[in-house]
Structure 1
Amino acid sequence: MNTLTKLVERARGPLGAPVELDFGAGLPGELGALLSELNGFALFNYGVQVFHAGPSGLGPELGAWNAPDTWKDTYGDLADGLLCFAQDLFGVQFAIEQGRRVVTFDSETGERENVGPDLDSWAGWLLEQPDVRGVRSFATVWQDTHGALGHDERLLPVKPFVLGGEYEVDNLVVRDAVTAMRIRGQLARQLRDLPDGTPISFVIT
């Protein structure tokens, strides 16, 4: 049994109707096979959400989520070349970069971190530290206190984490996932290439 299969065994889903997807070879093909098996799902008490494909389903739809005018336009070219297929509780995106590797995309800064060459590596990376990388503990605490999040909702810090905001309940609000990404995109564009400590003006428009 590979690591991706172990991860899927922990999933709650599907979030979408059954589909048969062919995204070609390589990593996109792996994603198509995964969603053909389980079309969208949640992990770690909804700390991680994998998007469904097709018009019928709960939460973000893969194609619509990756459309430029959904939220990527607010990042300029920071999100270019990414096929975002999942996100965590705080809007960190899990993405296939240029069809070659899986990366994380920090929604507040636009920075990318290499996770591995395939979805099995991504699954192993999550399972190594589910409370941190999968946000399992915080997702559990939040929902035990405030109730379950909607499928289209994520948590947005009042004071962004990159500007010193705390990972605390009092610093977080529930927002529609698209709205939250568009807010973060404005921040990421201001922070781009700035040295640490540079004053910025963070205005939500």
Structure 2
Amino acid sequence: MSSSFDALLDVAGGALGPGFAGALPDIGGAARTRELEQLLGHRDGFLAFEDALLVFPVDAPTRRLDLVRLNNGDWTAGYWHRCEGLLFFAADALGDLFALQGDKVVRFVSETGVVEPMADDLPGWAARLLADPAGEAGWPFAHAWAAAHGPLEEGSRLTGKRPFVLDGAFDLDNLQQRPLAEILDYRGNLATRLHEAPPGAILHMPTLS
């Protein structure tokens, strides 16, 4: 196993799933999928950086969300074609997703549905998180939330009462904890409306409350 995988698991909590020794679908490309199988084979889902990073267990019925249910969830329909060819496997503190796409690892910005390059392979993704957990995993937000309200609940992430992309503040007054599936349902609608809005349009969205 790569040194960056070892280092990431050293700062992570225990396994969230019952164990994984199978095969994942090659949605994101075979090479990267084999790397993800290796990581999850060593630890079937985990939390790291004070719960800022959530790597999903593969198939864990006793958990609120796992990799199988995430990738087959109804929330993907809200983004239309933007989830095609992506195998989602992790989330940051603010509800953005990490995914495999072809031979790359990408970040799926869930408020906009935009896919951003992240790393050339999964060990590179792990190394990038370890080098900057604040910027890449949203560690300061998870830390501040835990100090004020306690650790994040299982399957939940942080989101803005007013969306960040609509000038919602990145502070505790605007943050709230919600189940990730609920966040993605809301943001899929938001992303579609943003993409369909004509230039200069003022977009009004109900708050997620």
Give 1:9's aligned amino acid: D
In the TM superposition, 1:1-205 aligns within 5 A as 2-23=3-24, 25-69=30-74, 71-97=75-101, 99-192=102-195, 194=197, 197-203=200-206
The normalised TM-score by structure 1 is: 0.92
Greater helix fraction, Structure 1 or Structure 2 = 2
Moved segments of 4+, more than 6 Å:
none
1:149-188 Cα distance to aligned partner (Å, 9 max, x none) = 1111111201111111111011011111111110011000
Higher mean displacement: 22-31 or 115-124:
22-31
Higher mean displacement: 150-159 or 17-26:
17-26
2: CA distance, partners of 1:192 / 1:157? 20
C-alpha deviation, 1:127, in angstroms:
1.6
Unaligned runs of 5+ in 2: none
Percentage of identical aligned residues: 34
Equivalent pair of 1:21/1:33 in contact (CA under 8 Å): no
The CA RMSD over aligned residues, in Å, is 1.9
C-alpha deviation, 1:196, in angstroms:
6.2
SS at match of 2:82: coil
Equivalent pair of 2:4/2:123 in contact (CA under 8 Å): yes
2: CA distance, partners of 1:45 / 1:177? 17
Q: How many residue pairs were aligned?
A: 203
Equivalent pair of 1:35/1:52 in contact (CA under 8 Å): yes
The normalised TM-score by structure 2 is: 0.90
C-alpha deviation, 1:201, in angstroms:
3.2
1: CA distance, partners of 2:189 / 2:179? 16
SS at match of 2:135: coil
Give 1:40's aligned amino acid: G
2: CA distance, partners of 1:195 / 1:112? 21
SS at match of 1:178: helix
Unaligned runs of 5+ in 1: none
